[in-house]
Amino acid sequence: MDLLNIDRRIIFVFVFVGVAIPLMLDFSFPIKPTEPVIRVFDEFERVAGEKDPVVLVSFSYGPSTEPEMQPMAMAILRHAFSRDIKVIAICLVADGPGLAEQALAQVGAEYGKEYGIDYAFLGYKPGLWAPIINMGQDFHNAWPRDARSTLISDVPVAANIRDLNDFDLVFDLASGDSIEFWWIPFGVEKYKFPFSAGCTAVMAPDLYPFLQSNQLRGMMGGLAGAAEYEHLIEIPGSATAGMRAQSVTHLIIVAFILLGNAAYFASRRKVTA
């Protein structure tokens, strides 16, 4: 068999099996949180110490990244509700509302929180970053109503919010441009509110410069980040479970890369010999 050019479909099979089998078995690896994730946790703890703490959670992801992002949303909502932090949620991508409502309803019920008083969901607004400018100027103008069509002034948790600076923390859950190209240049840069985020693993490497410059106070990257957060709040969820399949497939891919390189060097030696 020519190892240099194995049919890619063989790799596909290995990847699929590497994911499917660990999901059906039960074993675990110890998890140790990394610094960016601990910083997110500390931000929520700081907020919990404020008077009447309110956090804005922006759901900027849709169902296509649900497996990575939803565990993060659940983890931060659990943390917030367990520390009596109020949550106002919004969506900046069109297909996000379903997931946001599902997460809020589920975690809200877990902690006996009441809609309107402890949390609210305001729905989706198109325009990429444009709603951020709008919120920075006048929150009620940006969201005249919540997602249930109640006038915003009649939603107790949001009634006293004037602009983004009235939040103790803004937290973005992002699967695309929203952290780097919307929230930071159009929001944080001008209004200077404390900002943290969770994002898909793809985006995480790009965000390290913002972590160091403190434009981003904490960051949870990918399913691994979510698993670390679940570890910090001591409520293991689907991210922790996913780490099994994740670990195994990573090893499979690394093995394939090493195999490919071994074959490559072996073939080169043959040529030179």
Partner 1 sequence: MFLTRTMPTLLAFLFGAVAVIIYYVPHTVAQEIERELSLWLRILYAFAYFLGLYSILNLHWNRISRREGGWAYSGVAIASFLVMSFFVVYNDGAGPFAPQATAGGYQWMFTYIHVACSSTMFSMLAFYIASAAYRTFRARSSDAAILLVAAIILMVGRVPVGRAISDFFPEAAAWLMEVPNLAAKRGIMLGVSLGAIATSLRIIFGIERSYLGGGEE
Partner 2 sequence: MRWRASRVVTLLGVAVLFPVVLSAQAPPRAIAFDTPNDAGGSITVTWPRVDGNGTTNHLVYVATAEAGPYNLAAEVKGKGAVLSDDPGNYGRGEEQDATHFVHVSDFTTADGRQPLDNDVTYFIRVAASKDGMEARGAITSAMAEANFINWAKTNNFVIGTALSLIILVSISLARRKEMFIRRIAGLEAIDEALGRATEMGKAVLFVHGLREMDKISTIAAVNILGQVARKTAQYDTLLKVASYDPVVMSVSQETVKEAYLEVGRPDAYNEDHIFVAGTDQFSYAAAVEGMMVRERPAAHIMMGYFYAESLLLAETGSQTGAIQIAGTDAFTQLPFFVTTCDYTLMGEELYAASAYLSREPRMLGSLKGQDIGKAFLIAALLFGSLLATAGMPFITHALAAH
Partner 3 sequence: MTNDKKLFIGFVGLFAIVNAILLGGGYLDMGWTSLGVIVAAGLTISLYSFLYHDNPLFKLAEHIFVGVAAAYIFGIYWYQSLYGEVIVRLFSIGDDPGTTTQRLLLLVPSILGLLILTRLSVKTAWLSRISFAFVVGVGAGFTIPRYISAFVLSQIEPTIRPITMDLDGLNLVLIMIGVISVLVYFFFSVEHRGFVGGVSKVGIWFLMISFGASFGYTIMARLSLLIGRVRFLLDDWLHVM
Nearer to partner 3, 28 or 64 (CB): 64
- HSE, side-chain direction, 13 A CA sphere, residue 127: 11
Instruction: Please identify, among the stretches 12-20, 53-61, 118-126, 200-208, the one whose residues bind partner 2 according to the rule CB under 8 A.
Output: 200-208
- Which H helix or E strand runs over 221? strand 219-221
Using CB under 8 A as the binding rule, whether residue 18 contacts partner 2 is answered as: no
The nearer residue to partner 1, 14 or 111, going by C-beta atoms, is 14
Residue 64 interacts with partner 2 (CB under 8 A): yes or no: yes
Q: What are phi and psi of 255, to 5 degrees?
A: -60, -45
CA distance 100 to 39: 23
Q: Give min distance, CB of 166 to partner 3, in A.
A: 20
What values do phi and psi take at 225, rounded to 5? -60, -45
The correct pick among 60, 70, 134, 215 for binding partner 1 (CB under 8 A) is: 134
Q: Where do we find the tokens 């909502």?
A: 77
Q: Binding partner 2 by CB under 8 A: which of 45, 52, 114, 206?
A: 206
Q: Across the strands, what pairs with 88?
A: 56, 120
Q: Could you say which of 8, 51, 269, 270 contacts partner 1 (CB under 8 A)?
A: 8
Residues binding partner 1: number (CB under 8 A): 62
Please count the helices (runs of H) and the strands (runs of E) in the chain: 11, 6
C-alpha 116: how far from chain center: 24
Shortest distance in whole angstroms from residue 187 CB to partner 1:
12
Instruction: Name the site residues for partner 3 (rule: CB under 8 A).
Output: 9, 12, 15-16, 19-20, 23-24, 64-68, 94-95, 123-126, 144, 151, 184-186, 188-190, 200-202, 204-206, 209, 212-215, 221-224, 242, 245-246, 249-250, 253
Beta bridge partners of 198: 173, 220
> Rounded CA gap, 65 and 21, in Å?
22
15 binds partner 1 (CB under 8 A): yes
Residue 131 parent element (H or E): helix 130-137
CA dihedral 206, 207, 211, 217 (to 10 degrees): -170
Among 85, 67, 68, residue whose Cα is nearest residue 77: 85
Binding site for partner 1 (CB under 8 A): 6, 8, 11-12, 14-16, 19, 28-32, 34-35, 62-67, 95, 98, 125-127, 129-131, 133-134, 137-138, 141, 149, 201, 204-206, 208-209, 212, 222, 224, 227, 243, 246-254, 256-257, 259-261, 264-265
Binding site for partner 2 (CB under 8 A): 64, 160, 162, 176, 189, 202-203, 205-206
